[in-house]
Structure formats: C-alpha cells, structure tokens
Amino acid sequence: MNTLAKLSINMKKILIVVMALGWFHLASAQQTEPTPSTQHYQFALDSNNIMLGDQTVLKIERTNTYPSLDDLTNSSIIALRQWVDTLDGTLFTALTSFEPGEHWYHIGDDSVLITVNDVPNVDTTSVNIRDINNIMRQPYTFGEIMHVLVYFWAFWIIVAAAVYAFCYFKRNKPLISTPLAPKLPADEQALKDLEALRLKQLWQQGKVKEYHTELTDTLRQYLEGAFGIQSTEMTTDQTLEAFHSCPFHSGETESMLGQILQTADMVKFAKSEPAPYQHDLAMKQAVDFVTQTSQAAKQAASNEDNPTESSNQN
C-alpha cells in the first residue's frame, strides 16, 4: 500500500515538472517572435507631405515578416495596396489619408510624421465657369490619306490575285503559261513526220498496216494544212478529185498521191501484202509529193508578189 502511494506521488511530481517546462517553452517562443507592432523595420517614404486624398508609397526593406494592410492602417492613414519586388524583396505599400493635419504614423517600433494638406477653399462665385468646348476636328494630312490609299489598293490587288488564281486552278491551267513553240509550216511538218515514220521501221517489224495508215494520215494532214483539203474526212477518190481542182497539182503529183492512197487502201481493207520495195517506194513518193507541191505553191505565191518578174520570165 505504501508503495502505491509513493508511486502516485512521484507521478504527480513528474506531471507538474512537464507542465512547467511546457509553459516555459511557450512563453519563450512568444517572446522570441516579435509582432508587427514591436518589430523594427528599415523603411522609407516617397513623401512625408501629401495633399488630401493623394498617395505616398512606403518602402520596407527585406525582412522575415512583413506587415499586412491591416497592420499599416490606423485611424488617420489608410493602407490601400501592397506589392513586393521579387528581386530585392522590398515591400511597397500605397498610403493615403482623408484627414488634414500632422499624423504620427507608427511602423513597428518606429514612427514618422506625415503631413496631410487640405484642399484650399475656392470661391466658385468669382470664377467664370464655362461649358465644355466641342471636339476640334483636324484636317487629314497627306500621310494619313496615303496610308488609307495604300491599304485600299493592296486589298483590291489581293482580291484580283485571288480571283485570277481561282480561275486558272479551276481550268487546270498554270498561273504562268509558257509560250508554245511556233507551229511549223505544213510541208516542213509533213517531212518531219515522214522521217520519224521511216526511223520507226514499222513495216520491217511486220506492222504493215500501221505503217501505211500513218503514212497516208501524214499526207492527208498535209493537204489540209497546205491547201485546205479536208482529206481526213474524205475517201481516196474524193481526195484525188479535190486535189485535181487544186491549182498547184500536176499529173505527176496526182499520180503519186493516187498510188500511195490506193496501196494503203489495199493493205487496210483487202489485207494485201505489198512487196518490200513498195513500202520504200510509198515513202519516196510521199516525200516527193510534199516537196514538189510545196515548191509549186511557193513559186505561185512568189509570182503573185512580183508579177513583173513573172511576165519577164514568160
């Protein structure tokens, strides 16, 4: 029983000691942390002398704890807003007052005198108050007019370019068309095509029908281009009849044309197989036909341009 009593007494003593230590630690902490009203600040004011309702800025250098707006507001001075310079940690506070006079403004454990000047009385009866003037209209300058014109013409140029591009793209044509090569005269084109046909060597490859078809097509296109004879839409007889009416024909050229067309008809429709020499003969006759008829046409045109020389030669 005595042991339990002693143990209870010891526990009470320990509890009292712990409570005492806790109270001492709390009191020490409260003493080491200064409140904004007792802390010392390094500060400066933009101006100690302001007009009623004007503002001055309070600058407080970097510190561990900054005063709030409520801490810096008293019965005479009002703290409006605060901001911090993140580079050097300076706190800025905008202050104002609506009570004229001299006010001691306390900042932490320090204070500063701020003088608020009242607005001087104005006798409105002695002042001639005038109505607000109308807005003055200044004439446009040359630069302003040119500025508007530049934008105006730039807008319409862009619109025209867009329409131009749209039309060309819609017709699948390039924006910039390259000039076409000049068209060769009918006789030069025919001779060029005949030479290309000879180099293909179609009949040597067994393509006899293709050879004579392309040969006669070349001559028919020549007749149309040189003399206006629509031979591509005519039969052989119709083509020969039309060429017979041409002033540049001769018995020899008409005979050559007839042999070429008739041989081709036999190959295409009667499935005839001409001898090898006849293929070369048809090519030679076609070249001679184009050469002789084109020279006859050029000679006739030259005689028309120089009728005097033509009569002298006769």
Longest CA–CA separation in the chain, Å? 173
CA dihedral 115, 117, 118, 119 (to 10 degrees): -160
Is 91 part of a structural domain of the chain?
Answer: yes
Is 209 part of a structural domain of the chain?
Answer: yes
pLDDT tens digits, residue range 150-162?
Answer: 999 999 999 998 8
Q: Output b/e per residue, 124-155; b: 16+ Cβ within 10 A.
A: eeeeeeeeeeeeeeeeeeeeeeeeeeeeeeee
Query: Is the pLDDT at 313 greater than 80, yes or no?
Result: no
Is 156 part of a structural domain of the chain?
Answer: no
191 shares a domain with 112: no
Amino acid at 114: I
190 shares a domain with 291: yes
Q: Find out whether 232 and 217 touch, Cβ atoms under 8 Å.
A: yes
C-alpha span between 187 and 40 (Å, rounded): 113
> How many structural domains comprise the chain?
2
Q: Name the residue with higher pLDDT: 298 or 178.
A: 298
State the CB neighbour count (10 A cutoff) for residue 212. 25
Percent of the chain with pLDDT over 70: 80
Is 62 part of a structural domain of the chain?
Answer: yes
CA-based torsion, 32, 34, 40, 41: positive or negative: positive
Full residue range of the structural domain in which residue 277 is found? 186-295
Whole-structure pTM value: 0.43
Is 309 part of a structural domain of the chain?
Answer: no
287 shares a domain with 202: yes
Is 191 part of a structural domain of the chain?
Answer: yes
Is 77 part of a structural domain of the chain?
Answer: yes
194 shares a domain with 108: no
- Region class of 169: left (phi > 0), else alpha (psi between -120 and 50), else beta: alpha
pLDDT at 267: 87
Split at pLDDT 50, 70, 90, the class of 37 is low
CATH of the domain at 95: 2.60.40
pLDDT tens digits, residue range 94-128?
Answer: 999 999 999 999 888 888 999 999 887 766 667 67
Q: Name the residue with higher pLDDT: 3 or 33.
A: 3
Amino acid at 196: A
Cβ neighbours of residue 256 closer than 8 Å, sequence gap 6 or more: 285, 286, 288, 289
Is 131 part of a structural domain of the chain?
Answer: no
Q: Which two tokens stand for residue 7?
A: 């143990």
CA dihedral 218, 220, 225, 230 (to 10 degrees): -150
C-alpha span between 265 and 261 (Å, rounded): 6
Q: Find out whether 98 and 56 touch, Cβ atoms under 8 Å.
A: no
Q: Which strands form 101-107's sheet, in the order they lie side by side?
A: 49-51, 110-117, 101-107
